[in-house]
Amino acid sequence: MAARSSSTSRTRKSTSKKKAAAEGSLWKPILAGIAAFLLLCLALEYYKEGGRLAFLKHKIDEATQTNTLTKFHPSGYEVAGLDISHHQPSVNWKQVKAQKIKFTFIKATEGITHQDRYFARHWKQAKQHDVLRGAYHFFLPSRDAEKQAKNFLDKVKLEAGDLPPVLDVEVTNHQSDEEIVAGVQLWLDLVEEEYDLKPIIYTNYAFYEKHLAGHFDDYPLWIAHYNPKKSHEIGNRNWVFWQHTSTGKLKGVRGNLDLNVFNGTMEDLYNMCYEPARF
């Protein structure tokens, strides 16, 4: 009886081990399948967004020569503004306007599919508080420029008194200068055709000098340059807007802000704004 019991026990243990091994082997293909699915999702997003992942920051080519040791506040400019995106989900426009902020540029779109989730809120509220508003598109040179223009035009509907559309160009996505210039020009042409208004080009000082100088002299230029020693000088090229810091502070908005000045008077700024054609 004892020998039989021992044999039975060994059989049960062996069966249990085989069962556990079988169950364990089932998890391996399941986990592998889940991992493969996640990798596929990342790959599709990488392709869709033109060589980047949405949750990673862009590598901005040639930073704006920031001097972090100096707080720089330009003087002698009558008109000040800010630019915002989903990084500023909540804005107290009443407080912002009380600090003599006259205009704002708001991120609307990026690439061929991405649309900023807070654009509609910011766009509506800026209008309600009589802050001049403009919309911008973050350009991905590796993606189809025509589809990028369509993405922007589908999202943004300018009204009388709005600032011109803006194309934010500050990454190469490993494209050549010729490809970048051609894509930028196509986007500008399509948006200008829609509104009969020349868009503004936004870029940083170093990117402009390296990739864009001499190609878009007929377009208003919004330059990002944070180094007070070199100021905002860009040779003989005139700028219309100057983003002088990315670490600005305003009551009514949490965290750091991009702050800007306009190179002109309020009347000059109003004269830039969109006026629909009358038939």
Instruction: Please give the positions annotated as active site.
Output: 83, 170
Whole-angstrom CA distances from 22 to 12, 64, 161 are 15, 59, 70
> What angle (nearest 5°) sits at the alpha carbon of residue 65, between those of residues 60 and 71?
120
Q: In angstroms, rounded to a whole number, what is the distance separating the alpha carbons of residues 253 and 30? A: 46
Contacts of 21 (CB under 8 A, 6+ apart): none
How far is the C-alpha of 185 from the C-alpha of 199, rounded, in Å? 11
User: How far does CA 26 lie from the centroid of its chain?
Assistant: 44
**Please, is 62 exposed, middle or buried when counting C-beta atoms within 10 Å of its C-beta (0-12, 13-18, 19+)?**
middle
225-231: Cβ within 8 A, 24+ apart: 225/64, 225/65, 226/64, 226/65, 226/66, 226/67, 226/72, 227/64, 227/65, 227/66, 227/67, 227/72, 228/67, 228/70, 228/72, 229/67, 230/65, 230/205
